[in-house]
Structure 1
Amino acid sequence: MRLIRRTRLASFLLGALIGASLAAAAAIRPTSAADIAGPHLALVIKTFRNPYFKTMVEGAKDGAADFGASLEVAAPDFETSVDQQIDIIDRLVSQKVDGIVVAPADSVRVIPALKRAEAASIPIVNIDNPIDRQAAIAAGLTPPPLVTVDNSDGAYRAVKSVLASFPLAQAPIKAAIIEGIPGAENGEARKAGALKAFAEQPRVQIVASESGNWERDEGERVAAAIIARTPDLDLLFCANDNMALGALAALAALGAAGAHAKIIGYDALPEALEAVRNGALAATVDQRAARQGHIAVEYLMKRLNGESVPPESFVDVRIVSE
């Protein structure tokens, strides 16, 4: 009898020890997205191909962690893959995610998908590229809060700073623009800012303005064509760093022809910042993508909690130059 009691006592103590060990292991196990009981949010960016959006994702993930939410990130293959981005938004609506932050690949074409999200009572925050407010209202969509930068002002300030580096006696200053995707509001705003700076300098002669569709290869191709037509090009404004880095490759391939042209980018990608440091790139615009991502998630959480947020929030940009 004593032996049976001792055996039962030993079994009890062993079970208690194992239970305590498992509890301790659970307590120190790292928290994953699946462990978070808070809201499940989604961030829909334009593409993973552009390092700029990777920085935005990092900021958004930090924001989600700060507010106890999980974050699903999705993107189409290319920034021009608008239909694929629309499909992603529709999938998230069918999944019934709690909220969506979206950087639209197109300022108008994504509106019906966002309207479907609104109809499903899924709050939205618009980041980076603004949707067309008039088109949204016409479609019955309440324009979502926007977190972005003043794209026109950033381009204007960058171009002004580089124009100031040209000798006062130099005339004309031959300039060109490589635009983003036609119709994308952020690209159009950057083009407008560059044109405003050029217009304030009578010595500037604009020789070309063409789209590079945000892509490095396209930027290289367009830059090569512009320089082939204008080998004495002085200044090239590119609406993002991807295209600016492509333009640098075009200059390197062409050698001395057009090698003196100063190139301006936009986004402050690590590779672009290094190009500014070594003098290959004249300037780039830091629009603080991580900060935008964090604020967008913060605003989405506030909307989920029934709190009001500003209709538009602009993050200050920084001009990084030689």
Structure 2
Amino acid sequence: MRTPHRSLVALALGGSLVLAGCGSSSDDGGSGSTASGGDTKVAAVIKGLDNPFFQAMEQGIDEQADQDGVDATVQAAQSITDTTGQSDKLTALAQQDYGCFVVNPISGSNLVNGLARISASDTPVVNIDSPVDADAAEEAGVDIATYIGTDNTEAGGKAGDEMVEAVSSGKVALVGGISGDVTSNARLDGFTQAVDGKLDVVQTVAADWERQKALTAATTLMQDNPDLKGFFAANDDMGLGIVQAVKNAGKADSITVISVDGNKDALQSVKDGDLHATVAQYPYAIGQLGVQACEKAAAGDDLPAEIVSPTAVVTSGVADQALAKFPAPFESFDNPLD
């Protein structure tokens, strides 16, 4: 069985990943979209579209499907914490006739039961962005054809390197997503490793990936640590909440904020000089690669166990370029699925 693991692969986005049109639909209060095409039928279940990261992922899935003539259906959870709702959507889709499934689980195990049913029918599963827990998958007999996503430790490390360059010394605080989340932990670990011996990490808190919670947490952290020099946030929504907290405290000139994702609001904030930097990880490209991998898996082609999607540090010097290319990467990268 091929299950997710971490290894560094150099990738690049080939010319086949370009824009095309898409349509949308929804059911029972959830969100999703449908792209009509040819014989290959792909179902994708992703996290909540309340977050722009997953909006871009959905766009990448739809547009790649339209370009390649793939019949794709995308269903999304009501929010990025709706584990039960997301599981129910996968269970419903698993009862239908799809040639491949793309899954972006909210937690490592919330989709395992539905995936077990899919794997029992020998239908390939492509896991994107957030890994299915390898132990839970093995126990349930889930076979993952490939994992496609950011090397989150590397992304956090890039943010740490940028923070060291920006502030050189002093105290920094970290704001993670949901406590215990694999993706959040990897980014925090990567950042901590990069600043070890150079900056003093005074506290790490969880803000559940949410902007308002991050604003509140940052406000408290600044009160507790009046000499704080920087914040690292594990996603852009939280980073933008921290930016607002820093402004509210009148410390925009003395506190540096760096986050991860590269969503459009964050890129604009970088351009405007509010957010110092974001480590862009291109959910649009992840969505496109997910469709391409499903096409190959459905055709019986072999896939690498893992495909690491690109990341890039976006500072004010390249923010215009990143905005002009959004949601696609502004730097080229090799696509092993072309």
Q: Which TM-score band applies after superposition, normalised by the shorter structure?
A: 0.7 to 0.9
CA contact (8 A) 1:147 1:315 kept: yes
Q: What is the DSSP-based 3-state SS (H/G/I as helix, E as strand, rest coil) of the residue aligned with 1:209?
A: strand
Q: 1:296 aligns with which of 273, 284, 290?
A: 290
Structure 2 residue 140 is the aligned partner of structure 1 residue 139: yes
**CA offsets 1:90-140 (integer angstroms, 9 cap, x no match):** 011123333211111001232222112212333211011112223321332
In the alignment, the residues of structure 1 paired with residue 213 and residue 166 of structure 2 have an alpha-carbon distance, to the nearest angstrom, of 28
Distance 1:34-1:65 versus aligned 2 partners, 3 A rule: closer
Runs of 4+ in 1 over 3 A off after TM superposition: 30-37
In structure 2, what is the Cα distance between the partners aligned to 1:62 and 1:34? 8
Aligned counterparts, 1:32-47, within 5 A: 36-47=37-48
**Cα distance in 1 between the residues matched to 2:36 and 2:53:** 29
- What is the Cα deviation at residue 35 of structure 1? 6.0
Give the match's secondary structure for 1:38: coil
User: Given the alignment of the two structures, is residue 320 of structure 1 paired with residue 309 of structure 2, yes or no?
Assistant: no
Give, in angstroms, the shift of residue 151 of structure 1: 0.9
Counterpart AA for 2:264: P
- Check conservation: 1:131, 1:185, Cα contact below 8 A: no
Q: Contact 2:36–2:66 at 8 Å: present in 1 too? A: no
RMSD over aligned Cα atoms? 2.0
Quote how far apart the aligned CAs of 1:162 are: 2.2
Question: Which has the higher relative contact order, 1 or 2, with Cα contacts under 8 A spaced 6 or more apart?
Answer: 2
> Which secondary structure does the structure 2 equivalent of 1:165 belong to?
helix
Aligned to 2:114: 113
Of stretches 95-104 and 265-274 in structure 1, the one that deviates more from structure 2 is 95-104
Normalising to structure 2: TM-score of the pair? 0.79
Residue 47 of structure 1 and its aligned partner are, at CA, apart by 0.7
Offset, 1:31: 10
Partner of 1:208: 203
- Correspondence 1:187-266 to 2 at 5 A: 187-201=184-198, 204-256=199-251, 260-266=254-260
Q: Which has the larger radius of gyration?
A: 1
Q: Which residue of 1 aligns with 2:305?
A: 311
Greater per-residue helix proportion: 1
- Write the distance in 1 (CA, Å) between the matches of 2:207 and 2:253: 20
Deviations 1:182-212 (A, max 9, x none): 33322111011011012142xx222211111
Residue 73 of structure 1: aligned partner: 74
Match for 2:42: what amino acid? L
Q: Within 5 A, what are the aligned runs for 1:15-164?
A: 36-164=37-165
- In the alignment, the residues of structure 2 paired with residue 263 and residue 47 of structure 1 have an alpha-carbon distance, to the nearest angstrom, of 25
Unaligned runs of 5+ in 2: 1-20, 24-33, 317-338
Q: 1:261, CA displacement in angstroms?
A: 1.3
Distance 1:281 1:38, change over 3 A: same
CA offset digits 1:67-109 (Å, max 9, x no partner): 2112211111211111111111101112333321111100123
Paired residue type of 1:70:
D
CA contact (8 A) 2:46 2:103 kept: yes
Unaligned runs of 5+ in 1: 1-29
Whichever residue aligns with residue 185 of structure 2, its letter is E
Say whether the 8 Å CA contact 1:107–1:183 is kept in structure 2: no
Say whether the 8 Å CA contact 1:221–1:250 is kept in structure 2: yes
* Alignment: residue pair count: 286
Give the C-alpha shift of residue 34 in structure 1.
Answer: 8.1
Structure 2 residue 186 is matched with structure 1 residue 186? no
With normalisation by structure 1, the TM-score equals: 0.83
Partner of 1:18: none
Alpha-carbon distance in structure 2 between the residues aligned to 1:151 and 1:70: 31
Structure 1 distance, partners of 2:47, 2:95, is 20
1:56-77 CA-to-partner distances (Å, cap 9, x unmatched) read 1121112212321122111112
Is the contact between residue 119 and residue 141 of structure 2 (CA under 8 Å) also seen in structure 1?
no
